[in-house]
Amino acid sequence: MSLENISSNRSFGGWHKQYTHTSRTVHCNMRFAIFLPPQASESNRVPVLYWLSGLTCSDENFMQKAGAHRVAAELGIAIVAPDTSPRGDNIPDDPEGAYDFGIGAGFYLNATEAPWNRFYHMYDYVVKELPAVIEAHFPVSDVKAISGHSMGGHGALTIALKNSDDYRSVSAFSPIVNPAAVPWGEKAFTNYLGEDRQTWLEYDSCALIKKAEKHLPMLIDQGDGDQFLHEQLKPGNLLQAAEEVGYPLELRMQEGYDHSYYFISSFIEDHLRFHGEHLK
């Protein structure tokens, strides 16, 4: 598979680069960003943290705003940030142009309902296609962790819970932990997956954590000043589900913090060091 490098920037002794490629999974050109730390070389393939962004975001938000490169360079961790959905003129979108569904809002699932089911297979893209591309073209190993924010936190948690042998650790900022029971998830899941709510639970962390066969180290940070906390995020639901089955979840409520990248940049070092311990 050919990649097109569209930007390269030196950063903390490493490189931040953007690429596009033609995806077989979502049937369009996809863009991703990668930060390669200075330790990365053909003789020293480094582990990877996959970062999944939230509603309205692309690969650029985290790389430009989170301030993650310095610590990733110190720890020798590559970071890969995919886009949040397929994009293009032929990609179906929310008919009303809303931000919480369609382009920019793929919800990291495999859609089963037309017309979304031809393109919106972000689950397979993140779990299968993208890691294969990254490991084939860059000096990285198959040792990986996953993290994300909001919708991307939902994606990181569900992907890790469904593929626990593939990841060493998982973390999230302000994740949508119970999408089957909140407005964002209900809208997206009805359109992407249909009316059968039982099928929704395959992408709901509160349901998945109760049947997890393997316990991954899991860290979640949530601001108590988050404007979406009570209606859309509901971290207490996941904490309760984890306690019911003895899943070792660390949930940290951070006083006064909101849903923005100011919050993420304040605690991203903690998350990188958390993953660094498990990626060794």
271 phi, psi to nearest 5 deg: -70, -40
- Looking up tokens 């860059």 gives 138
Annotated active-site residue 41? The verdict is no
Of 147, 150, 171, 174, the active-site residue reads 150
Residues β-bridged to residue 220: 172, 251
CA distance 193 to 117: 9
Ramachandran region of residue 166, left (φ > 0), alpha (ψ -120 to 50) or beta? alpha
Of 59, 83, 204, 226, the active-site residue reads 226
Closest listed residue to residue 140, CA positions, set 267, 41, 5, 4? 41
Annotated active-site residue 150? The verdict is yes
CB 156 within 8 A of CB 148: yes
Of 16, 259, 271, 275, the active-site residue reads 259
Residues β-bridged to residue 121: 110
- Cα-based torsion angle of the residue sequence 237, 217, 160, 61 in order, rounded to the nearest 10 degrees: 90
The beta strands (E) that lie in the chain are given as 4-11, 14-23, 28-36, 46-52, 78-82, 140-149, 170-173, 218-223, 249-254
240 CB contacts (<8 Å, ≥6 apart)?
Answer: none
Give how far Cα 184 sits from Cα of 2, 19, 76, 120, 261, Å: 36, 30, 36, 16, 20
Q: How many residues would you count in the chain? A: 280
Annotated active-site residue 137? The verdict is no
Residues β-bridged to residue 46: 140
Residues annotated as catalytic (active site), given as ranges = 150, 226, 259
